[in-house]
Chains A and B, each alone.
Chain A
Protein backbone atom coordinates (compact mmCIF):
# COMPACT_ATOMS: atom_id res chain seq x y z
CA UNK A 1 0.00 0.00 0.00
CA UNK A 2 1.39 3.38 -0.94
CA UNK A 3 1.93 5.89 1.85
CA UNK A 4 -0.21 8.98 1.94
CA UNK A 5 1.51 12.34 1.74
CA UNK A 6 0.94 12.88 5.41
CA UNK A 7 2.40 9.51 6.43
CA UNK A 8 5.46 10.14 4.31
CA UNK A 9 6.07 13.48 5.99
CA UNK A 10 5.73 11.90 9.42
CA UNK A 11 8.18 9.15 8.55
CA UNK A 12 10.70 11.68 7.27
CA UNK A 13 10.52 13.71 10.47
CA UNK A 14 10.97 10.60 12.65
CA UNK A 15 14.03 9.65 10.62
CA UNK A 16 15.59 13.09 11.14
CA UNK A 17 14.98 12.96 14.89
CA UNK A 18 16.44 9.42 14.90
CA UNK A 19 19.71 10.68 13.42
CA UNK A 20 19.97 13.33 16.13
CA UNK A 21 19.41 10.73 18.87
CA UNK A 22 22.06 8.39 17.40
CA UNK A 23 24.65 11.16 17.32
CA UNK A 24 23.84 12.19 20.87
CA UNK A 25 24.17 8.61 22.15
CA UNK A 26 27.50 8.10 20.35
CA UNK A 27 28.81 11.37 21.75
CA UNK A 28 27.80 10.49 25.30
CA UNK A 29 29.23 6.94 25.15
CA UNK A 30 32.51 7.50 23.36
CA UNK A 31 33.63 11.04 24.17
CA UNK A 32 36.35 11.39 26.79
CA UNK A 33 34.30 13.58 29.09
CA UNK A 34 36.90 13.63 31.80
CA UNK A 35 39.58 14.91 29.45
CA UNK A 36 37.24 17.52 28.01
CA UNK A 37 36.37 18.71 31.49
CA UNK A 38 40.02 18.84 32.56
CA UNK A 39 41.32 20.55 29.41
CA UNK A 40 38.51 22.93 28.51
CA UNK A 41 36.52 23.52 31.68
CA UNK A 42 39.13 23.37 34.41
CA UNK A 43 37.59 25.42 37.22
CA UNK A 44 40.92 25.90 38.98
CA UNK A 45 42.41 27.61 35.95
CA UNK A 46 39.22 29.56 35.42
CA UNK A 47 39.50 30.96 38.91
CA UNK A 48 43.19 31.70 38.35
CA UNK A 49 42.28 33.88 35.38
CA UNK A 50 40.05 36.06 37.51
CA UNK A 51 39.93 38.96 37.89
CA UNK A 52 42.50 39.93 35.24
CA UNK A 53 40.55 38.36 32.38
CA UNK A 54 37.86 40.94 33.04
CA UNK A 55 39.69 43.90 34.59
CA UNK A 56 42.59 43.83 32.13
CA UNK A 57 41.90 41.68 29.07
CA UNK A 58 38.19 42.30 28.42
CA UNK A 59 38.63 45.93 29.39
CA UNK A 60 41.46 46.38 26.88
CA UNK A 61 39.45 44.64 24.16
CA UNK A 62 36.59 47.08 24.74
CA UNK A 63 38.90 50.09 24.83
CA UNK A 64 40.60 49.09 21.55
CA UNK A 65 37.21 48.45 19.97
CA UNK A 66 35.92 51.85 21.06
CA UNK A 67 39.07 53.59 19.84
CA UNK A 68 39.07 51.87 16.44
CA UNK A 69 35.32 52.38 16.01
CA UNK A 70 35.50 56.09 16.81
CA UNK A 71 38.45 56.71 14.51
CA UNK A 72 37.00 54.46 11.81
CA UNK A 73 33.55 56.02 11.96
CA UNK A 74 34.79 59.58 11.61
CA UNK A 75 36.97 58.53 8.70
CA UNK A 76 34.06 56.59 7.17
CA UNK A 77 31.86 59.69 7.35
CA UNK A 78 34.32 61.63 5.22
CA UNK A 79 34.80 58.72 2.83
CA UNK A 80 31.05 58.21 2.36
CA UNK A 81 30.48 61.90 1.60
CA UNK A 82 33.45 61.89 -0.77
CA UNK A 83 32.09 58.78 -2.45
CA UNK A 84 28.82 60.63 -3.10
CA UNK A 85 30.49 63.90 -4.05
CA UNK A 86 29.88 65.43 -7.44
CA UNK A 87 33.61 66.18 -7.67
CA UNK A 88 35.32 63.35 -9.55
CA UNK A 89 38.70 63.18 -7.78
CA UNK A 90 36.98 62.92 -4.36
CA UNK A 91 34.86 60.07 -5.64
CA UNK A 92 37.84 58.28 -7.17
CA UNK A 93 39.92 58.62 -4.03
CA UNK A 94 37.14 57.25 -1.82
CA UNK A 95 36.48 54.36 -4.18
CA UNK A 96 40.20 53.49 -4.36
CA UNK A 97 40.51 53.68 -0.57
CA UNK A 98 37.49 51.45 0.01
CA UNK A 99 38.59 48.83 -2.53
CA UNK A 100 42.16 48.84 -1.24
CA UNK A 101 41.46 48.34 2.44
CA UNK A 102 38.62 45.90 1.93
CA UNK A 103 40.81 43.81 -0.33
CA UNK A 104 43.88 43.67 1.88
CA UNK A 105 44.03 41.60 5.11
CA UNK A 106 43.55 43.75 8.21
CA UNK A 107 46.77 42.29 9.58
CA UNK A 108 48.78 43.86 6.74
CA UNK A 109 47.26 47.27 7.44
CA UNK A 110 47.96 46.98 11.16
CA UNK A 111 51.58 45.96 10.49
CA UNK A 112 51.88 48.84 8.04
CA UNK A 113 50.73 51.37 10.61
CA UNK A 114 52.72 49.82 13.47
CA UNK A 115 55.99 49.07 11.69
CA UNK A 116 55.84 50.22 8.06
CA UNK A 117 55.32 53.90 8.85
CA UNK A 118 58.04 54.08 11.55
CA UNK A 119 60.56 52.25 9.36
CA UNK A 120 59.85 54.24 6.22
CA UNK A 121 59.16 57.72 7.50
CA UNK A 122 59.89 57.62 11.21
CA UNK A 123 56.20 58.32 11.80
CA UNK A 124 54.86 56.78 14.96
CA UNK A 125 51.17 57.08 15.82
CA UNK A 126 50.93 58.58 19.32
CA UNK A 127 49.02 56.87 22.12
CA UNK A 128 50.90 53.57 22.30
CA UNK A 129 49.02 50.40 21.44
CA UNK A 130 45.65 52.09 21.77
CA UNK A 131 46.67 54.79 19.28
CA UNK A 132 48.39 52.49 16.81
CA UNK A 133 45.71 49.83 17.09
CA UNK A 134 42.83 52.30 16.73
CA UNK A 135 44.37 53.81 13.61
CA UNK A 136 45.33 50.46 12.08
CA UNK A 137 42.01 48.76 12.70
CA UNK A 138 40.08 51.99 12.15
CA UNK A 139 41.54 52.42 8.67
CA UNK A 140 40.20 49.00 7.73
CA UNK A 141 36.86 49.42 9.50
CA UNK A 142 36.36 52.81 7.81
CA UNK A 143 36.42 51.15 4.40
CA UNK A 144 33.53 48.86 5.37
CA UNK A 145 31.59 51.48 7.31
CA UNK A 146 31.89 54.01 4.48
CA UNK A 147 30.05 51.63 2.19
CA UNK A 148 27.38 51.03 4.82
CA UNK A 149 26.98 54.77 5.33
CA UNK A 150 26.78 55.44 1.62
CA UNK A 151 24.09 52.79 1.24
CA UNK A 152 22.20 54.36 4.16
CA UNK A 153 22.36 57.83 2.66
CA UNK A 154 21.24 56.52 -0.72
CA UNK A 155 18.35 54.65 0.90
CA UNK A 156 16.76 57.93 2.02
CA UNK A 157 14.22 58.85 -0.68
CA UNK A 158 15.20 61.67 -3.04
CA UNK A 159 11.99 63.50 -2.10
CA UNK A 160 13.44 64.15 1.35
CA UNK A 161 16.33 66.19 0.05
CA UNK A 162 14.04 67.91 -2.47
CA UNK A 163 11.68 68.92 0.32
CA UNK A 164 14.59 70.16 2.44
CA UNK A 165 16.12 72.13 -0.43
CA UNK A 166 12.71 73.60 -1.30
CA UNK A 167 12.55 75.00 2.22
CA UNK A 168 15.75 76.89 1.49
CA UNK A 169 18.21 74.55 3.17
CA UNK A 170 21.66 74.37 1.62
CA UNK A 171 22.95 70.97 0.53
CA UNK A 172 24.97 70.70 3.72
CA UNK A 173 22.07 71.58 6.00
CA UNK A 174 19.78 69.15 4.19
CA UNK A 175 22.39 66.42 4.65
CA UNK A 176 22.96 67.23 8.31
CA UNK A 177 19.40 67.76 9.53
CA UNK A 178 17.30 65.66 7.15
CA UNK A 179 19.30 62.97 5.32
CA UNK A 180 21.88 61.79 7.86
CA UNK A 181 19.46 61.35 10.79
CA UNK A 182 17.35 59.07 8.59
CA UNK A 183 20.39 57.31 7.16
CA UNK A 184 21.70 56.54 10.67
CA UNK A 185 18.44 54.87 11.60
CA UNK A 186 18.70 52.67 8.55
CA UNK A 187 22.31 51.70 9.19
CA UNK A 188 22.22 51.03 12.94
CA UNK A 189 21.76 47.26 12.42
CA UNK A 190 24.55 46.78 9.82
CA UNK A 191 26.78 49.18 11.77
CA UNK A 192 26.31 47.10 14.92
CA UNK A 193 27.33 44.03 12.94
CA UNK A 194 30.48 45.86 11.91
CA UNK A 195 31.10 46.73 15.55
CA UNK A 196 30.98 43.03 16.41
CA UNK A 197 33.43 42.21 13.62
CA UNK A 198 35.71 44.99 14.80
CA UNK A 199 35.57 43.71 18.36
CA UNK A 200 36.75 40.30 17.22
CA UNK A 201 39.43 41.84 15.01
CA UNK A 202 41.05 43.48 18.04
CA UNK A 203 42.57 40.01 18.58
CA UNK A 204 44.90 40.90 15.71
CA UNK A 205 46.52 43.63 17.75
CA UNK A 206 48.83 41.09 19.42
CA UNK A 207 51.18 41.64 16.46
CA UNK A 208 51.97 45.13 17.71
CA UNK A 209 53.50 43.59 20.81
CA UNK A 210 51.49 43.88 23.99
CA UNK A 211 52.66 44.18 27.57
CA UNK A 212 50.92 42.45 30.51
CA UNK A 213 48.82 45.55 31.06
CA UNK A 214 47.83 46.14 27.44
CA UNK A 215 46.90 42.56 26.48
CA UNK A 216 43.52 42.05 24.92
CA UNK A 217 41.40 38.94 25.43
CA UNK A 218 42.84 36.58 22.85
CA UNK A 219 46.47 37.34 23.64
CA UNK A 220 45.69 37.05 27.35
CA UNK A 221 44.11 33.63 26.80
CA UNK A 222 46.98 32.46 24.63
CA UNK A 223 49.61 33.40 27.19
CA UNK A 224 47.57 31.81 29.95
CA UNK A 225 47.27 28.65 27.89
CA UNK A 226 51.03 28.49 27.37
CA UNK A 227 51.58 29.03 31.08
CA UNK A 228 49.06 26.45 32.29
CA UNK A 229 49.48 23.93 29.46
CA UNK A 230 45.70 23.75 29.32
CA UNK A 231 43.04 24.87 26.81
CA UNK A 232 40.62 26.23 29.42
CA UNK A 233 41.74 29.87 28.89
CA UNK A 234 40.46 29.66 25.31
CA UNK A 235 37.05 28.57 26.59
CA UNK A 236 37.02 31.44 29.05
CA UNK A 237 37.99 33.96 26.37
CA UNK A 238 35.29 32.61 24.07
CA UNK A 239 32.69 32.94 26.83
CA UNK A 240 33.73 36.52 27.56
CA UNK A 241 33.58 37.42 23.85
CA UNK A 242 30.10 35.92 23.65
CA UNK A 243 28.99 37.83 26.73
CA UNK A 244 29.76 41.03 24.79
CA UNK A 245 28.75 40.04 21.25
CA UNK A 246 25.54 38.09 21.89
CA UNK A 247 23.64 41.04 23.44
CA UNK A 248 24.77 43.14 20.49
CA UNK A 249 23.57 40.66 17.87
CA UNK A 250 20.26 40.22 19.73
CA UNK A 251 19.92 43.99 19.72
CA UNK A 252 20.53 44.06 15.97
CA UNK A 253 17.85 41.44 15.38
CA UNK A 254 15.35 43.42 17.43
CA UNK A 255 16.21 46.67 15.66
CA UNK A 256 15.88 45.00 12.27
CA UNK A 257 12.45 43.65 13.18
CA UNK A 258 11.39 47.09 14.37
CA UNK A 259 12.77 48.83 11.29
CA UNK A 260 10.97 46.32 9.08
CA UNK A 261 7.67 47.05 10.81
CA UNK A 262 8.27 50.81 10.58
CA UNK A 263 9.04 50.68 6.91
CA UNK A 264 5.97 48.59 6.21
CA UNK A 265 3.93 51.22 8.03
CA UNK A 266 5.50 53.95 5.94
CA UNK A 267 4.72 52.38 2.57
CA UNK A 268 3.70 55.25 0.38
CA UNK A 269 0.08 55.65 -0.52
CA UNK A 270 0.32 54.73 -4.16
CA UNK A 271 1.75 51.28 -3.53
CA UNK A 272 -0.78 50.71 -0.81
CA UNK A 273 -3.57 51.75 -3.14
CA UNK A 274 -2.21 49.43 -5.80
CA UNK A 275 -2.20 46.58 -3.33
CA UNK A 276 -5.81 47.33 -2.44
CA UNK A 277 -6.90 47.17 -6.05
CA UNK A 278 -5.03 43.91 -6.48
CA UNK A 279 -6.79 42.48 -3.46
CA UNK A 280 -10.14 43.73 -4.68
CA UNK A 281 -9.55 42.20 -8.07
CA UNK A 282 -8.58 38.82 -6.63
Chain B
Protein backbone atom coordinates (compact mmCIF):
# COMPACT_ATOMS: atom_id res chain seq x y z
CA UNK B 1 0.00 0.00 0.00
CA UNK B 2 1.29 3.46 -0.82
CA UNK B 3 1.92 6.14 1.82
CA UNK B 4 -1.13 8.25 2.63
CA UNK B 5 -0.95 11.83 1.30
CA UNK B 6 -1.92 13.17 4.70
CA UNK B 7 -1.56 11.22 7.90
CA UNK B 8 -2.45 12.73 11.27
CA UNK B 9 -1.62 11.01 14.54
CA UNK B 10 -2.84 12.02 17.99
CA UNK B 11 -3.22 15.70 17.07
CA UNK B 12 -3.98 18.03 19.96
CA UNK B 13 -4.41 21.79 19.73
CA UNK B 14 -4.99 24.21 22.57
CA UNK B 15 -5.87 27.88 22.29
CA UNK B 16 -4.81 29.00 25.75
CA UNK B 17 -6.73 26.70 28.09
CA UNK B 18 -9.26 25.72 25.48
CA UNK B 19 -8.68 22.35 23.89
CA UNK B 20 -9.90 22.69 20.32
CA UNK B 21 -8.59 19.40 18.95
CA UNK B 22 -8.67 16.48 21.34
CA UNK B 23 -6.59 13.82 19.68
CA UNK B 24 -7.32 13.45 15.99
CA UNK B 25 -6.20 10.37 14.04
CA UNK B 26 -6.87 10.64 10.41
CA UNK B 27 -5.65 9.70 6.96
CA UNK B 28 -6.21 10.85 3.41
CA UNK B 29 -5.08 8.60 0.58
CA UNK B 30 -4.02 9.64 -2.86
CA UNK B 31 -6.93 10.65 -5.07
CA UNK B 32 -9.35 10.56 -2.16
CA UNK B 33 -11.94 13.28 -1.60
CA UNK B 34 -12.73 13.82 2.07
CA UNK B 35 -15.41 16.23 3.23
CA UNK B 36 -15.29 17.39 6.83
CA UNK B 37 -18.60 18.50 8.32
CA UNK B 38 -19.72 19.53 11.76
CA UNK B 39 -21.10 22.42 13.80
CA UNK B 40 -19.10 25.64 14.01
CA UNK B 41 -16.53 25.54 16.76
CA UNK B 42 -16.04 21.81 16.29
CA UNK B 43 -12.42 22.28 15.20
CA UNK B 44 -12.80 21.55 11.47
CA UNK B 45 -11.01 24.67 10.29
CA UNK B 46 -8.36 24.37 12.99
CA UNK B 47 -7.66 20.82 11.83
CA UNK B 48 -7.22 22.03 8.26
CA UNK B 49 -5.01 24.92 9.33
CA UNK B 50 -2.84 22.62 11.44
CA UNK B 51 -2.11 20.47 8.40
CA UNK B 52 -0.23 23.36 6.77
CA UNK B 53 0.94 24.66 10.13
CA UNK B 54 -0.91 27.95 9.81
CA UNK B 55 -1.79 26.93 13.33
CA UNK B 56 0.94 25.37 15.43
CA UNK B 57 -0.20 21.94 16.69
CA UNK B 58 0.24 21.60 20.45
CA UNK B 59 1.16 17.94 20.13
CA UNK B 60 0.88 15.11 17.66
CA UNK B 61 2.32 14.27 14.30
CA UNK B 62 1.27 15.31 10.81
CA UNK B 63 2.86 13.52 7.88
CA UNK B 64 2.62 15.02 4.41
CA UNK B 65 3.50 12.29 1.91
CA UNK B 66 5.40 10.62 4.70
CA UNK B 67 7.32 13.74 5.73
CA UNK B 68 6.70 15.09 9.23
CA UNK B 69 5.64 18.73 8.88
CA UNK B 70 5.62 19.14 12.66
CA UNK B 71 9.31 18.20 12.85
CA UNK B 72 11.60 21.06 13.83
CA UNK B 73 13.88 20.41 10.88
CA UNK B 74 11.04 20.12 8.37
CA UNK B 75 11.15 22.53 5.45
CA UNK B 76 7.65 23.84 6.03
CA UNK B 77 7.78 26.30 3.12
CA UNK B 78 8.69 23.51 0.68
CA UNK B 79 5.99 21.21 2.07
CA UNK B 80 3.40 23.96 1.73
CA UNK B 81 4.04 24.21 -2.01
CA UNK B 82 2.64 20.68 -2.28
CA UNK B 83 -0.58 21.66 -0.49
CA UNK B 84 -3.00 24.02 -2.22
CA UNK B 85 -5.01 26.03 0.30
CA UNK B 86 -8.29 27.80 -0.40
CA UNK B 87 -9.73 30.14 2.22
CA UNK B 88 -13.24 31.21 3.09
CA UNK B 89 -12.31 34.86 2.47
CA UNK B 90 -10.44 34.14 -0.83
CA UNK B 91 -7.42 36.20 0.30
CA UNK B 92 -6.40 37.21 -3.20
CA UNK B 93 -3.61 39.78 -3.30
CA UNK B 94 -5.48 43.03 -4.01
CA UNK B 95 -2.42 44.93 -5.24
CA UNK B 96 -1.74 42.42 -8.01
CA UNK B 97 -3.83 41.59 -11.06
CA UNK B 98 -5.10 38.07 -11.66
CA UNK B 99 -2.08 37.02 -13.71
CA UNK B 100 0.37 38.28 -11.08
CA UNK B 101 -1.68 36.66 -8.32
CA UNK B 102 -1.12 33.38 -10.13
CA UNK B 103 2.54 33.85 -10.99
CA UNK B 104 4.12 35.56 -7.97
CA UNK B 105 4.64 32.41 -5.89
CA UNK B 106 5.58 30.34 -8.95
CA UNK B 107 8.30 32.87 -9.69
CA UNK B 108 9.48 33.71 -6.18
CA UNK B 109 9.13 30.31 -4.52
CA UNK B 110 9.39 27.69 -7.25
CA UNK B 111 11.74 29.90 -9.33
CA UNK B 112 9.91 29.07 -12.52
CA UNK B 113 10.77 31.23 -15.54
CA UNK B 114 8.40 34.05 -16.43
CA UNK B 115 7.26 32.20 -19.57
CA UNK B 116 6.61 28.93 -17.75
CA UNK B 117 4.78 30.66 -14.90
CA UNK B 118 2.54 32.58 -17.28
CA UNK B 119 1.81 29.51 -19.37
CA UNK B 120 0.76 27.60 -16.26
CA UNK B 121 -1.29 30.57 -15.06
CA UNK B 122 -3.19 30.64 -18.37
CA UNK B 123 -3.75 26.91 -18.21
CA UNK B 124 -5.21 26.88 -14.66
CA UNK B 125 -7.23 30.02 -15.33
CA UNK B 126 -8.85 28.20 -18.22
CA UNK B 127 -9.63 25.30 -15.91
CA UNK B 128 -11.63 27.64 -13.65
CA UNK B 129 -13.21 29.33 -16.67
CA UNK B 130 -11.80 32.82 -16.14
CA UNK B 131 -9.33 33.25 -18.99
CA UNK B 132 -10.94 36.58 -19.90
CA UNK B 133 -10.20 38.05 -16.44
CA UNK B 134 -6.44 37.61 -16.62
CA UNK B 135 -5.68 41.35 -16.47
CA UNK B 136 -8.36 42.32 -13.96
CA UNK B 137 -7.69 43.27 -10.37
CA UNK B 138 -9.44 41.20 -7.66
CA UNK B 139 -11.64 44.12 -6.57
CA UNK B 140 -13.28 44.09 -10.01
CA UNK B 141 -14.38 40.45 -9.68
CA UNK B 142 -17.46 38.97 -8.04
CA UNK B 143 -17.02 36.82 -4.95
CA UNK B 144 -17.48 33.65 -6.95
CA UNK B 145 -14.93 34.75 -9.50
CA UNK B 146 -12.48 35.70 -6.75
CA UNK B 147 -12.79 32.28 -5.19
CA UNK B 148 -12.26 30.62 -8.57
CA UNK B 149 -9.11 32.71 -9.05
CA UNK B 150 -8.01 31.68 -5.55
CA UNK B 151 -8.44 28.04 -6.55
CA UNK B 152 -6.47 28.71 -9.74
CA UNK B 153 -3.75 30.38 -7.69
CA UNK B 154 -3.41 27.28 -5.53
CA UNK B 155 -3.45 25.02 -8.61
CA UNK B 156 -0.73 27.05 -10.31
CA UNK B 157 1.76 25.61 -7.81
CA UNK B 158 0.87 22.13 -9.15
CA UNK B 159 0.09 20.85 -5.65
CA UNK B 160 -0.38 17.19 -4.83
CA UNK B 161 -3.47 17.94 -2.74
CA UNK B 162 -5.97 20.72 -2.15
CA UNK B 163 -7.42 21.86 1.16
CA UNK B 164 -10.62 23.93 1.16
CA UNK B 165 -11.66 25.85 4.27
CA UNK B 166 -15.38 26.57 3.85
CA UNK B 167 -14.82 27.82 0.30
CA UNK B 168 -18.43 28.87 -0.32
CA UNK B 169 -19.42 30.19 3.12
CA UNK B 170 -18.64 33.83 2.30
CA UNK B 171 -20.51 33.77 -1.01
CA UNK B 172 -23.95 35.01 -1.94
CA UNK B 173 -26.17 31.98 -2.63
CA UNK B 174 -26.30 32.58 -6.39
CA UNK B 175 -22.49 32.44 -6.63
CA UNK B 176 -21.95 29.16 -4.79
CA UNK B 177 -22.73 26.96 -7.80
CA UNK B 178 -19.89 28.22 -9.99
CA UNK B 179 -17.33 27.51 -7.27
CA UNK B 180 -18.70 24.03 -6.61
CA UNK B 181 -18.59 23.35 -10.37
CA UNK B 182 -14.89 24.16 -10.42
CA UNK B 183 -14.34 21.87 -7.44
CA UNK B 184 -16.28 19.06 -9.16
CA UNK B 185 -13.89 19.48 -12.08
CA UNK B 186 -10.96 18.88 -9.74
CA UNK B 187 -12.62 15.78 -8.34
CA UNK B 188 -13.05 14.46 -11.88
CA UNK B 189 -9.35 15.07 -12.53
CA UNK B 190 -8.51 12.85 -9.58
CA UNK B 191 -7.16 15.57 -7.25
CA UNK B 192 -6.69 14.60 -3.62
CA UNK B 193 -8.98 16.92 -1.69
CA UNK B 194 -9.98 17.72 1.85
CA UNK B 195 -12.98 20.02 2.05
CA UNK B 196 -14.43 21.63 5.16
CA UNK B 197 -17.94 22.50 4.08
CA UNK B 198 -21.55 23.09 4.99
CA UNK B 199 -22.72 22.04 1.52
CA UNK B 200 -24.17 18.63 2.36
CA UNK B 201 -25.41 18.04 -1.17
CA UNK B 202 -21.92 18.59 -2.52
CA UNK B 203 -20.40 16.30 0.11
CA UNK B 204 -22.85 13.56 -0.70
CA UNK B 205 -22.19 13.89 -4.40
CA UNK B 206 -18.39 13.99 -4.55
CA UNK B 207 -16.95 12.70 -1.27
CA UNK B 208 -15.32 9.30 -1.02
CA UNK B 209 -15.48 9.71 2.71
CA UNK B 210 -17.31 12.10 5.04
CA UNK B 211 -15.91 13.00 8.44
CA UNK B 212 -18.22 14.36 11.10
CA UNK B 213 -16.41 16.37 13.79
CA UNK B 214 -17.79 17.72 17.03
CA UNK B 215 -16.09 19.24 20.07
CA UNK B 216 -12.62 18.55 18.79
CA UNK B 217 -12.94 14.88 17.97
CA UNK B 218 -13.89 12.80 14.93
CA UNK B 219 -17.29 11.49 15.93
CA UNK B 220 -18.02 9.55 12.82
CA UNK B 221 -16.48 8.79 9.47
CA UNK B 222 -17.34 6.68 6.49
CA UNK B 223 -18.90 6.74 3.03
CA UNK B 224 -21.27 9.69 2.50
CA UNK B 225 -24.34 7.46 2.27
CA UNK B 226 -23.60 6.09 5.71
CA UNK B 227 -22.55 9.26 7.56
CA UNK B 228 -25.02 11.64 5.94
CA UNK B 229 -28.06 9.40 5.55
CA UNK B 230 -27.69 6.88 8.31
CA UNK B 231 -25.54 8.39 11.08
CA UNK B 232 -24.82 6.25 14.10
CA UNK B 233 -24.40 8.94 16.74
CA UNK B 234 -27.09 11.19 18.16
CA UNK B 235 -24.98 14.28 17.70
CA UNK B 236 -24.52 13.65 14.00
CA UNK B 237 -28.23 12.98 13.61
CA UNK B 238 -29.12 16.20 15.41
CA UNK B 239 -26.60 18.22 13.38
CA UNK B 240 -27.82 16.85 10.07
CA UNK B 241 -31.45 17.48 10.99
CA UNK B 242 -30.64 21.09 11.86
CA UNK B 243 -28.73 21.61 8.62
CA UNK B 244 -31.50 20.11 6.51
CA UNK B 245 -34.13 22.31 8.20
CA UNK B 246 -32.27 25.46 7.18
Assembly CA distance A262 to B138 (angstroms): 12
Cross-chain contact A268 with B170 (CB below 8 angstroms):
yes
* B216 in the interface (beta carbon within 8 A): no
Main secondary structure of the interface of A (DSSP, over half): helix
* A275 in the interface (beta carbon within 8 A): no
A163 to chain B, nearest CB (A): 4
Assembly CA distance A269 to B150 (angstroms): 15
Q: Which listed segment binds A: B76-84, B117-125, B195-203? A: B76-84
Cross-chain contact B170 with A168 (CB below 8 angstroms):
no
Binding site for A on B (CB under 8 A): 52, 54, 77-78, 80-81, 83, 85, 87, 89, 91-95, 104-105, 108-110, 139, 143, 150, 153-154, 157, 170-172
Using A178-B93, A266-B139, A268-B89 as known contacts, say yes or no to A165 and B78 having CB atoms under 8 A apart: no
Q: List 12 A-B contacts (CB under 8 A).
A: A160-B93, A163-B87, A163-B92, A166-B80, A166-B85, A167-B104, A168-B109, A169-B77, A181-B95, A185-B95, A268-B89, A270-B170
Cβ–Cβ < 8 Å partners of B83 in chain A: 166
Main secondary structure of the interface of B (DSSP, over half): loop
Assuming A167-B80, A169-B105, what are 14 further A-B pairs, CB within 8 angstroms?
A: A160-B91, A160-B93, A163-B85, A163-B92, A165-B80, A167-B81, A167-B157, A168-B77, A169-B108, A170-B77, A173-B109, A262-B139, A265-B139, A269-B170
Assembly CA distance A186 to B104 (angstroms): 21
Contact of B104 among A165, A177, A268, A269 (CB under 8 A): A177
B38 to chain A, nearest CB (A): 20
Binding site for B on A (CB under 8 A): 157, 159-160, 162-170, 173, 177-178, 181-182, 185, 262, 265-266, 268-270, 273
Cross-chain pair count, CB within 8 angstroms: 71
Cβ–Cβ < 8 Å partners of A168 in chain B: 77-78, 80-81, 105, 109-110, 157
A182 to chain B: closest residue by CB = B95
Cβ–Cβ < 8 Å partners of A157 in chain B: 89, 91
Assembly CA distance A30 to B94 (angstroms): 60
Cβ–Cβ < 8 Å partners of A166 in chain B: 52, 54, 80, 83, 85, 154
Assembly CA distance A167 to B95 (angstroms): 17
Assembly CA distance A167 to B87 (angstroms): 12
Cβ–Cβ < 8 Å partners of A169 in chain B: 77, 105, 108-109
Assembly CA distance A102 to B78 (angstroms): 42
Residue of A159, A269, A270 ringed by the most chain B CB atoms within 10 A:
A269
Cross-chain contact A266 with B94 (CB below 8 angstroms):
yes
Contact of A159 among B78, B87, B154 (CB under 8 A): B87
Cβ–Cβ < 8 Å partners of A173 in chain B: 108-109
Residue of B93, B150, B157 ringed by the most chain A CB atoms within 10 A:
B93
A85 to chain B, nearest CB (A): 18
Assembly CA distance A185 to B87 (angstroms): 24
A273 to chain B: closest residue by CB = B172
Cβ–Cβ < 8 Å partners of B105 in chain A: 164, 167-169
Assembly CA distance A164 to B100 (angstroms): 13
Using A169-B108, A182-B94 as known contacts, say yes or no to A162 and B54 having CB atoms under 8 A apart: yes
Assembly CA distance A166 to B77 (angstroms): 8
Assembly CA distance A270 to B166 (angstroms): 13
Assembly CA distance A170 to B139 (angstroms): 26
Cβ–Cβ < 8 Å partners of B80 in chain A: 165-168
Assembly CA distance A219 to B105 (angstroms): 52
Assembly CA distance A265 to B93 (angstroms): 15
A159 to chain B: closest residue by CB = B91
Q: Which 3 residue pairs of A and B lie closest in terms of their CB atoms, listed nearest first?
A: A167-B105, A168-B81, A163-B91
